[in-house]
Amino acid sequence: MVYRVKPLRSDGNDIICVRLRRYNACPVTLGDGTEIKTGDRIIELHLNNAWFKKRRKPNLKAPSLPWEGLYCFTQDLSFLAEQIGSGTFDRVTALHGTTLLHGLARRLGFQVEELPNTLWKKGAKLYIVGLMQIYHLGIAERFKAAGKPLELKDIWLSRTALLRRYGTAHVNLPVS
């Protein structure tokens, strides 16, 4: 796989793919006091494109897909919390991702951070919007109809916050 991104589980039913890596940018302090410094181990989150592809129906918009995705993402976060709690991902400081779906990520407990306006941000946004179009998610259309711009942002969830919120076997959708 490109960039060593791997599915979270081997059964192919996961919406999350992960990449374990070292953080190599400016230090970040999260709202719960967790400090992410250069060299810290983080889990980079990616959406599993195959998950969306399996649920795509030709020529049909899928209005329930975002809610189904939110539920599945919550289940995967619970599974990831179990893995981290059992030592599978040793000494991970935080989860990190870059997404247009930061509103949903906030509902899941992630801290949302602005990204500097760089060429990388513009290219990443173009790529992600393209994926959303391919999988008929309708996100771009919904934002346009609401008069809101699509903004690419960083999302962070500390190891402590993940274990506190998702560390039980019982999974509930978070209510915000």
Per-residue pLDDT of 31-72, as tens digits, reads 999 999 999 999 999 888 777 777 665 554 544 556 677 888
Tell me which of 174 and 99 has the higher pLDDT. Answer: 99
pLDDT of residue 100: 84
- Give per-residue pLDDT as tens, 77-132: 999 999 999 988 889 999 999 988 888 899 999 999 998 888 988 888 888 777 77
> How do beta strands 41-47 and 92-99 pair?
parallel
Split at pLDDT 50, 70, 90, the class of 141 is low
Tell me which of 24 and 67 has the higher pLDDT. Answer: 24
CA atoms within 13 A on the CB side of 91: 6
Split at pLDDT 50, 70, 90, the class of 171 is very low
Q: What would the mean pLDDT of 128-144 be, rounded to a whole number?
A: 67
> What angle do the packed helices 159-166 and 65-85 form, to 10 degrees?
110
Q: Residue 153's Cα: distance from chain center in Å?
A: 11
Structure tokens belonging to residue 163: 């274990």
Which of 166, 176, 167 lies closest to 112 in space, CA to CA? Answer: 176
* Domains in the chain: boundaries: 2-164
| 38, 24 Cβ separation under 8 angstroms | yes
Full-model pTM: 0.81
pLDDT of residue 158: 97
